[in-house]
A and B are shown apart, each in its own frame.
Chain A
Amino acid sequence: MTALSVRDLSLAALAVRDLSLAIGRTNIVDAISFDVAPGEVLALVGESGCGKSVTAQAIMRLLPAAIRQTGGEITLGATSLSNLSARAMRDLRGRQIAMIFQEPQSALDPLATVGNQIAEALRQPLARVRAEVRQMLVEVGISDPDRRIDQHPFELSGGMCQRVMIAIALIARPAVLIADEPTTALDVTIQAQILALLRRLAAERQTAVVLITHDMGVVADIADRVAVMYAGRVAETGPTAAVFATPAHPYTALLLASIPRLSDVPKSALAVIDGQVPQPADYGTGCRFAGRCPRGDRRCVAETPALGPVADGRLVACFHPVGG
């Protein structure tokens, strides 16, 4: 598994370059870049509203009508998605890029059987691909596949539904899988199992995974690399272990420090980051974290820090990185 972050682009399964999104004139995602190699798991982590889910929708080219892409390029292997026709893009979805969602039970059609929904990803009638679908159910760890294949979603538990979603997403062997908070609706044990499953299948099938989450625990569990987003920008990116061990961006550092631990003194105050995330309309110039940052100064408010390299293949958008 590669752990470099300044990398040869031709190796990437998916590359996002300077992607910007806006609602009307309000910029909500500002020139974000990242790439994922085959078999690698990249976590896109950030608070609600930081732009991670719209980034995923932009990659699928299924943005809500109000949101526009104002700049940047997305390439899948050697193909640039921006120039594809709607038809070609539709052919790509599900085959080259697949997606799984937060609420597995409502993301499955309540009136279609599990088998039919998996077969649909292959654009084949179930009768013709039944063996393949059954095999996929086995691979995602569903016991008694011969019975489950003809059942409806309401007969399955939440964890099983998410396994079915993964089966739907991966059966056509896509190059890229986008997982938007795949385990948020599941309890912790199931969550760990689903993450382990995703991790294993991605490695086996050399699928590049973009994992969107707000849960640092999930990131630590399965991500090779992490891109921390704040208010529509990437604050820091690098190998997960390195970012967690020595966070370079003050936001990352404070975020990690605010996770409660079992070893904390009981009833001690939780560590918090002062202030509020700015609204997209109030982003202004400069670093968007400046107002809440203990290291912020006049320069941070006036200028926008670019994403630049620090130690061991990491990139940080900060004038005063921690430990730098």
Chain B
Amino acid sequence: MRRISWGTALIFAGLLAFMVAAVGADVFASNDPLRQSLLLRLRPPGTATATAYFPLGTDDLGRDLLARILYGARASLMVAALSVSVSLLVGVTLGLMAGWFGGWVSIIAMRAVDTMLSIPAILLAVLTVAVLGPGFFNLVLVLGLTRWPRYTRVAYAQTLQVAALPYVRAAEMAGCGPGRILLRHVLPNIAGPLMVVATSEFGLMILFEASLSFLGLGIQPPYPSWGSIMSVGRQYVVRAWWLTAFPGACLFGVVLCVNLFGDWLRDRVDPRSQGR
């Protein structure tokens, strides 16, 4: 077993906390995130009443901020995980085929990548949501279908490299078809770099979800999302700092952890960046 440094342990702890918070939101939240109580509007962190305790205070409708942040973590995690899966599937499929078949397949796929990368992603997302309408499903679809080009680029370049290796030639000589070679021999051998891209995209997806929700195009009220909590909190930033500070800190911490995890993963996957 390799020794893991304290910094790495901290990254893992942060990610683990995020996952646990998202998955176990119902367990950790003592209050219903949707229950309003207009008598308890904008109470500061640590407020206690006869029946309830609000460790992070309440929002403008008197809802428990901690509960809303926990459920917001669940929304972030689900949107990010699902949209990364969609774009991985689309992007890697295209990249593998472009790298293996070459010719017009690669021309079409790689020009599509260039086109997609030249459109500002957030603008495209805003446009698509405006057309399809907001909502959880559309959010996943939009993020998934706009973020595949990076995977395609990496999968394409890696497939070109791996396809020239003797063991892929050997598989061909042994009578394997393209599907089998790509899935059984090429994909496992290019999975490392793809996972690194997926990790950094995962962090970006969390930020995108928050941005779109902040703009009112993502998760719709009354359901909580870090972006929408901050969007509301923006109006009360002088009177109720906790509404923007806590979700903002969570967003910052999680994305930082995800990105650092991505760096750590890249060092493990790419031997050239090892042993600094």
Interface residues on B, range: 10 to 19
Distance in Å: Cβ of B182 to nearest Cβ of chain A? 13
Q: Which of B119-127, B183-191, B198-206, B213-221 contacts A (4 or more CB under 8 A)?
A: B183-191
Asked whether A120 lies within 8 Å of B184 as measured between CB atoms, the reply is yes
Asked whether B175 lies within 8 Å of A90 as measured between CB atoms, the reply is yes
Asked whether B173 lies within 8 Å of A108 as measured between CB atoms, the reply is no
- With A106-B165, A106-B167, A112-B185 known as contacts, the answer to whether A168 contacts B173 (CB < 8 A) is no
- With A90-B175, A91-B175 known as contacts, the answer to whether A111 contacts B170 (CB < 8 A) is no
Enumerate chain B residues within 8 angstroms of A169, measured Cβ to Cβ: 174
Enumerate chain A residues within 8 angstroms of B189, measured Cβ to Cβ: 109-111
Asked whether B175 lies within 8 Å of A168 as measured between CB atoms, the reply is no
Enumerate chain A residues within 8 angstroms of B263, measured Cβ to Cβ: none
Complex-state Cα separation, A112 to B191, whole angstroms: 14
Asked whether A109 lies within 8 Å of B167 as measured between CB atoms, the reply is yes
Chain B: interface secondary structure? Answer: helix
Q: Find residues 97-124 in chain A having any chain B CB closer than 8 Å to their own CB.
A: 98-99, 101, 103, 106-112, 120-121
Asked whether B175 lies within 8 Å of A95 as measured between CB atoms, the reply is yes
A292 within 8 A of B: no
Enumerate chain B residues within 8 angstroms of A101, measured Cβ to Cβ: 166, 169-170
Question: Looking at the complex, which one of B173, B175, B185 makes contact with A109 (CB distance below 8 Å)?
Answer: B185
Question: Looking at the complex, which one of A92, A98, A107 makes contact with B166 (CB distance below 8 Å)?
Answer: A107
A235 within 8 A of B: no
Enumerate chain B residues within 8 angstroms of A110, measured Cβ to Cβ: 167, 189
Complex-state Cα separation, A107 to B167, whole angstroms: 4
B171 within 8 A of A: yes
- CB nearest to B165 among chain A residues: A106
Question: Looking at the complex, which one of A93, A111, A120 makes contact with B173 (CB distance below 8 Å)?
Answer: A93
Given contacts A109-B185, A109-B188, 15 further A-B contacts (CB under 8 A): A62-B173, A90-B177, A93-B173, A93-B175, A94-B176, A98-B174, A99-B174, A101-B169, A106-B167, A107-B166, A107-B169, A110-B189, A120-B174, A120-B184, A121-B175
Q: Which residues of A contact B (CB under 8 A)?
A: 60, 62, 90-95, 98-99, 101, 103, 106-112, 120-121, 165, 168-169
Which are the 6 A-B pairs with shortest beta-carbon distances? Answer: A93-B175, A94-B175, A94-B174, A107-B166, A107-B170, A106-B166
